[in-house]
Amino acid sequence: MPGHIPLTANEKLLRRFYEPLVLLSALDPTRGAHRPDLTSDLGLDKQSKWWRNFLDQLAFLCDFEKGGDTVTAIAVQKRVDHPIFWLASNSKSRNKARDHVRWILGRLNDMHSVAIWYDEREREILFGCIDFSRARVKTYIGWLMQALKKAKESMQGSRTPEDTLIVAEFEHLEMLESDPHQLCAHAHSLRKHRFMEVLSQRHTVHSQRGIWSDIRHFIGRLGLWHKAIRILVSGTKIFPQYIEGAQVMVVAPRGSAALPYFDNSTDMAEIVRRMVPSDQPSLAQELSAALAEVDAIAGIWGKFREDYKNIRPRPHAELLVLEHFHFENLDFVADEKYIGCSKPSCYCCNLYMQCHPGGFIPRACHGNLWINWAPPIPLPSIQLGTGRSRVRPQQHHTFGLLQKMLVRIRLDLQDQILSRRPRRARLPDSTTGMSSVPFDTDKLLASLLGPQRNLSGGQGDESAAASEGEAADARTDGLPAESSLDAGSEGRDESLTEGDLTHGNKNQNLSKAKQVQPPGAEVDEESSAEEELVFKGRKNKLYSR
């Protein structure tokens, strides 16, 4: 038989990184929601809370389709002349998102210079943003209508007074199906209604609560456009200097992501051998035996091979912005090293930020593991036979970060294997947006802007305190994968057929922004001592946390 193909240091690292990552995903991709609850930090002032939420909600308004393709991240550079809003997206939608941010910021700036009522400007932005996200709104409406139908079928027969209340509200929601603007407004107004209290009780108490969780989640999502606009309007009053005269620029991707090496002859024992230190043979045997047991029941090895062969990694938006600020040594507005994003961070992005030397403020994390993840800065190419390089691959920024992440991934995989925990239901990437943390948007707006009409018809707001709501909801939105319509939103085949919306104003197309090019990172020739350096993480003993 021919021998194995010799791999470069980069190829070996990528294989050793993605093998445990994909295996962990096959066993259980739901790693649990990790929520840095910055809003309840007593040391964090109100303006900092609002600025972080301003960025999260602005990014949310740019995420116009369901799934992971249009996820958007935003951070603001502090400059003497004017601030610069830097944004990145998971796909080529970044230019569309840029134009939309320009349109929103232009309308917000007009509040200080144009004789127009705040509620009128707020309504204009709201209608424009709902129309911009018409595909996403229509998807949520379609899923909500399906969930309402299933819930009504489950309540056939005798009904309690509580059921009567629910059915009446269901019928009201169904009447608004053809008017997305009215339905979004009504969804926002329901947040303190008895109906939502009942849904929350069934969402929390019932052992089979999938459909009630879905309904609560979709109503919360549809109400977020109103909530987001009110946060932007209030933020404009609190910190006008952060947006006045702002420019909007795009962070371009830094090159194609490398694919990990796939070998048909690889088996589970070989993967375990690569991840366990050579002086712990008993641990390797224990892990291999436990994996064999799980595979006999759940067939995880077949899933691993299929997933590994089809990896198509891409960098996520918040990390593109993070590395742009880090490598360009840019100053943040308000000295807050915070990156807003339209969704909480995934498992890999959360690990990356924890391992990064830049000291960026941690974000909410939904805890879902997506194997189609890539570092924001690709590993440098290695050209063999061209003489010794001045910089070895192991000294590259990304190389070191992946090694640090790999230690954590291996520990999580070891814990998952030895605990023999069953696969958990995947949580939605997005959160419901109904908070347990009191942070009243309407009261603050009233104090800042004076009395004005409430566009949604509600009497208050929950919290403006985490990306798209509170990740605390994600912890309790544990929807079964079979019943939840919103789980796994990095997938491709989720959205319904996009329909036309006839309400509101279209956003304006503006001139193109400068694309940021990556700094060069030229590295060649593999070091003769790469075995010692590339696998230094493997020499660390593995312990359960």
Residue 545 confidence class, pLDDT cut points 50, 70, 90:
very low
> Could you read off the pLDDT of 298-324 as tens digits, one per residue?
889 999 999 999 999 999 999 999 999
Distance of CA 491 to the CA centre of its chain: 13
| 3 state SS of 89 | strand
| 3 state SS of 301 | helix
* Residue 37 or 381, more confident: 381
User: Is the model's pLDDT at 109 over the cut of 60?
Assistant: yes
> Among 117-121, 219-223, 424-428, whose mean pLDDT is lowest?
424-428
User: Is the model's pLDDT at 516 over the cut of 60?
Assistant: no
Residue 354 confidence class, pLDDT cut points 50, 70, 90:
very high
| 3 state SS of 426 | coil
Residue 41 confidence class, pLDDT cut points 50, 70, 90:
low
- pLDDT above 90 as % of the chain: 42
User: Is the model's pLDDT at 113 over the cut of 70?
Assistant: no
Whole-model pTM?
0.78
User: Is the model's pLDDT at 55 over the cut of 90?
Assistant: yes
Residues 167/181/125/429 CA torsion (nearest 10 deg): 50
User: Is the model's pLDDT at 357 over the cut of 50?
Assistant: yes
Per-residue pLDDT, averaged over 272-281, amounts to 88
Residue 43 confidence class, pLDDT cut points 50, 70, 90:
low
Per-residue pLDDT, averaged over 84-103, amounts to 91
Per-residue pLDDT, averaged over 334-358, amounts to 93
CA distance 101 to 303: 41
Per-residue pLDDT, averaged over 96-101, amounts to 94
CA distance 391 to 396: 8
> Could you read off the pLDDT of 467-507 as tens digits, one per residue?
333 333 433 333 333 334 444 444 433 333 333 333 333 33
* Residue 198 or 385, more confident: 198
CA distance 245 to 193: 40
> Could you read off the pLDDT of 429-466 as tens digits, one per residue?
555 555 433 345 555 555 555 544 444 444 344 333 33
- Which tokens hold the place of 223? 């109400």
Question: Cβ(128)–Cβ(180) under 8 Å?
Answer: no
User: Is the model's pLDDT at 534 over the cut of 80?
Assistant: no
CA distance 55 to 124: 20
CA distance 170 to 159: 14
Q: Residue 132 has what pLDDT?
A: 95
Q: Residue 256 has what pLDDT?
A: 83
What does residue 373 show for φ and ψ, rounded to 5 degrees?
A: -115, 145
* Residue 541 or 279, more confident: 279
For 388-465, strand residue ranges (E) read none
> Could you read off the pLDDT of 225-244 as tens digits, one per residue?
999 999 999 898 899 999 99
Question: Cβ(323)–Cβ(353) under 8 Å?
Answer: no
Question: Cβ(150)–Cβ(483) under 8 Å?
Answer: no
For 334-487, strand residue ranges (E) read 340-341, 373-374
Domain boundaries, given as residue ranges, for the chain: 37-258+312-368
